[in-house]
Amino acid sequence: MIYAVFAPLIITLLIPLLSKWKERVHTGWFILPVPILIFIYFVQFVGENFTPHSESYSWIPSLNISIDFYLDGLSLLFVLLISGIGSLVVLYSIYYLHKSEQLKQFYIYLYIFMFSMLGVVLSDNVFVLYSFWEFTSLSSFLLIGYWHYRERSRYGALKSMLITVFGGLSLFGGLITLSVITETTSIQAMIEQKDLIVNHSLFPLILVFILLGAFTKSAQFPFHIWLPDAMEAPTPVSAYLHSATMVKAGIFLVARFSPILGGEPSFFIIVSLFGIVTLFWASFMAVRQTDLKGILAFSTVSQLGMIMAMLGFGTDVAIFAAVFHILNHATFKGSLFMIAGIVDHETGTRDVRKLGGLMTFMPMSATLALFGVFSMAGVPLPFFNGFYSKELFFESAIDLPGFSGAFVEFLQQAIPYIAVIGSIFTFVYSMYLFFSTFRGKYKEHELKTKPHEAPLGMLISPSILVLGVILIGLFPNMVNESFLAHAATAVFGDGFHAHEVKFWHGWESPALRMSLIVVGVGTILAITRKKWTSVYTVFPRRLSFNELYNYIVDSIEKGSTKITETYMTGSIRHYVSYILGSILIITGAILFITNGVTIEFDDLAPITIPEILVGLTMAIAAIASIFTNNRLSLIIIVGVVGYGLSVLFVIYRAPDLALTQLIVETVTVALFLLCFKHLPELKNLPSHPGVKSINFLISVGFGVLVTLIGISSHSSKLFSPISEYFIEESVPLGGGHNVVNVILVDMRGLDTLFEITVLGIAALAIYALIKLRHDKEAK
């Protein structure tokens, strides 16, 4: 199985070589066998006696992550869709994309996608699943941006990426929480711990996180906004990723986790509600679209909503209908996308308003489209597979699970009605799509080229899909027990019993009545569509979720600008005040919280008058330095502070320190004076009084803080001062009574030596600098 999954990835490595090998042959031909072989490999598993199958490969043992593949009915359904539709899409693209395009990259992205999608549906390990999940987003991003350099493509690509990857991250959070709770990373092992998970206090969080991931990926309301913009991708990509497979990953996820999360009222409420709202809203929005692919995009969203709602219902009929519809939707929607691509290819436009009467020019395509559209609309005829699953949907919508609660009861009442209304709109846009494109008046002047039937090769893929529509329609039980029942079992659990799918349930069947209402009302609305235009456009574009997305992205960027402008001024003055300010706040806050300051004045020595005088002088000098505009005087004033300090040292009987301080101070002042000769005049920069007062506050606050710290640290002395050791040991160790001298030349003799060396080197360096300068001036 691992070979089947990795085959597309391996082939991508060969694509660059293959495309160079025989330039005349379309690259697509070389790689077409890969998905076909995968399809053949997996189709062998289909059968009534199918049992789940798993393979395991060790990967990151320390994190308990291994590549586990688990093939059950659900994965099998998806795997066959991915490889089957994949083969058809590649075949179709051979005719759709000309050899002059950048085929190499197109196929590389496409096969990376195929690889990651296979990985998503087969992984049993949640983290491996997540990894593949993100890869699908990434390849979708690359494919959306593949064709155009337009602003819209960029917008669409970034938007789809941001929304799906955001969802992916949320899913990731959910998966991590799940694995932390269950202490396993295997989905199958998690299913066995359902009770633990459901009763855990974090269950709501897990539910929301995982569903958020699924909803964003499967374009559920209100996250559906990325899908219409993703239609910038070449049509084969839209058919494959944005209709048949990738957007169904969210569906897959919900189905996969149904055994864990399902059966709970909260799961029912959230999933059904979002599903049904999506169904209604997207089908309603689809009617006002004018772009062929736009209609199909919204239609996809609404169909996904329908499947999602069925998964939310969670009854056995609903689950069966859901997996059935996944298959059906892939067939009819895939063919419709391909036809839309053909129309675009042959006429040069996808704008429905410019199209019309193409039936006469493209009879084959029109016939194929007819089947696709009628199946999508759910027309009750025995050769449209869409009808069966839609009828099962109605059937399940009437028979909802019996949870109690006011809101649940409201939902139970409302869902059948919303389902019917949504389906009516589906019917309307389906008819609109078909009749305005292929019937009606041919608008010659609107089209740049004269349309004609597509090349035969391009029609093969949609024909095969339509054949699927008809065959499943005629013999729905052909795929029932051998295939769909296994998928439904994987979602529902072992209690699932296969039903026979029948076309005719008799007039008494409420589902049939609902279908007939849909067709009846739908026909009327479709015929009189023009009169209702204002209803369809009643929701202004400004209130859409698109605007919300734009607003969020814009305001994040604006916020960023604002932050940047307000504090990243580039002025070191501001930086220093921010730094000191934040230190003040942080330290102050922590000292306050932890009661860190203890102030005791017990054992303080008395302060004498000379000390006060020196201290005052230093303070005055420090303050005076602020008001000086002249560098020279500034240095001298600051020097006063330094000299004051050395005087203090003298008072406190530390002559060596005083001496050092004196020398350092003198050297510094001298060096400053030397340097300042080369600097421009000091300008007194005007600053805002507000800024000044803030600076004032910061500096005063900082002074107070340091004072407090000083006093406080004095108040909490743990042990006797270090000096006593030196005083005691000075005579026995060094033989001298002058402690400072003993320390300098004896106890720390090596230190002194090195210090002298350092000073010597520094002096040499300064000498060299001065000499260099002299030499330059001499020249």
Sites of contact with another protein (CB under 8 A): 59-63, 105, 127, 130-132, 134-135, 138, 141-142, 145, 148-149, 153-154, 157-158, 161-162, 165-166, 169-170, 172-173, 176-177, 180, 553, 556-557, 559-561, 563-564, 567-568, 570, 572, 575-576, 578-579, 582-583, 586-587, 590-591, 594-598, 709, 712-713, 715-716, 718-719, 722
Which lies closer to another protein via its Cβ, residue 134 or residue 656? 134
Q: How far is the CB of 62 from another protein (least distance, A)?
A: 5
Neighbours of 155 (CB within 10 A): 15
Could you give the CA distance from residue 43 to residue 479 in angstroms, rounded to a whole number? 12
Q: How far is the CB of 565 from another protein (least distance, A)?
A: 9
Which lies closer to another protein via its Cβ, residue 17 or residue 590? 590
Could you give the CA distance from residue 736 to residue 758 in angstroms, rounded to a whole number? 27
Which lies closer to another protein via its Cβ, residue 605 or residue 718? 718
Residue 707, amino acid:
T
Helix (H) or strand (E) holding 493, with range, is none
Could you give the CA distance from residue 675 to residue 522 in angstroms, rounded to a whole number? 88
Question: What's the farthest any 2 CA atoms get from each other in the chain?
Answer: 120
Could you give the CA distance from residue 74 to residue 52 in angstroms, rounded to a whole number? 10
Which lies closer to another protein via its Cβ, residue 108 or residue 526? 108
Could you give the CA distance from residue 311 to residue 313 in angstroms, rounded to a whole number? 5
Three-state SS at 44: coil
Q: For residue 258, give both structure tokens.
A: 């149904």
Could you give the CA distance from residue 116 to residue 110 in angstroms, rounded to a whole number? 10
CA atoms within 13 A on the CB side of 482: 10
Q: How far is the CB of 631 from another protein (least distance, A)?
A: 16
Q: How far is the CB of 588 from another protein (least distance, A)?
A: 10
CA 352 to chain centre: 34
Could you give the CA distance from residue 325 to residue 323 in angstroms, rounded to a whole number? 5
Q: How far is the CB of 151 from another protein (least distance, A)?
A: 9
Cis peptide, bond prior to residue 655, ω within 30 of zero: no
Spatial CA neighbour of 391 closest among 298, 283, 501, 287: 501
Which lies closer to another protein via its Cβ, residue 571 or residue 633? 571
Q: For residue 716, give both structure tokens.
A: 């909490």
Q: How far is the CB of 128 from another protein (least distance, A)?
A: 9
Q: Please check whether residue 394 is in contact with residue 511, taking contact to mean a CB–CB distance below 8 angstroms.
A: yes
Which lies closer to another protein via its Cβ, residue 447 or residue 583? 583
Which lies closer to another protein via its Cβ, residue 401 or residue 701? 701
Residue in this structure with the two tokens 């296969």, named with its chain if needed: 498
Which lies closer to another protein via its Cβ, residue 238 or residue 289? 238
Q: How far is the CB of 739 from another protein (least distance, A)?
A: 18
Q: Please check whether residue 19 is in contact with residue 97, taking contact to mean a CB–CB distance below 8 angstroms.
A: no
Which lies closer to another protein via its Cβ, residue 148 or residue 499? 148
Which lies closer to another protein via its Cβ, residue 135 or residue 438? 135
Q: How far is the CB of 187 from another protein (least distance, A)?
A: 17
Q: How far is the CB of 59 from another protein (least distance, A)?
A: 8
Three-state SS at 48: coil
SS3 letters for 719-747?
CCCCHHHHHHHHHHHHCCCCHHHHHHHHH
Residues 520-530 as b or e (16 or more Cβ within 10 Å = b):
ebbeebbeebe
Query: What is the DSSP track for 409-440?
Result: HHHHHHHHHHHHHHHHHHHHHHHHHHHHHHSS
Query: What is the DSSP track for 556-614?
Result: HHHHHHHHHHHH----HHHHHHHHHHHHHHHHHHHHHHTT------TTPPPPPHHHHHH
Which lies closer to another protein via its Cβ, residue 598 or residue 738? 598
Q: How far is the CB of 661 from another protein (least distance, A)?
A: 17
Which lies closer to another protein via its Cβ, residue 216 or residue 389? 216
Q: How far is the CB of 563 from another protein (least distance, A)?
A: 6
Residue 350, amino acid:
R
Q: How far is the CB of 567 from another protein (least distance, A)?
A: 8
Q: How far is the CB of 165 from another protein (least distance, A)?
A: 6
Which lies closer to another protein via its Cβ, residue 448 or residue 678? 678
Q: How far is the CB of 259 from another protein (least distance, A)?
A: 24
221 CB-near residues (< 8 Å, 6+ apart): 274, 277, 278, 281, 282, 301, 305
- For residue 282, CA distances in Å to 279, 330, 364, 485, 607 come to 6, 18, 29, 29, 83
Which lies closer to another protein via its Cβ, residue 132 or residue 374? 132
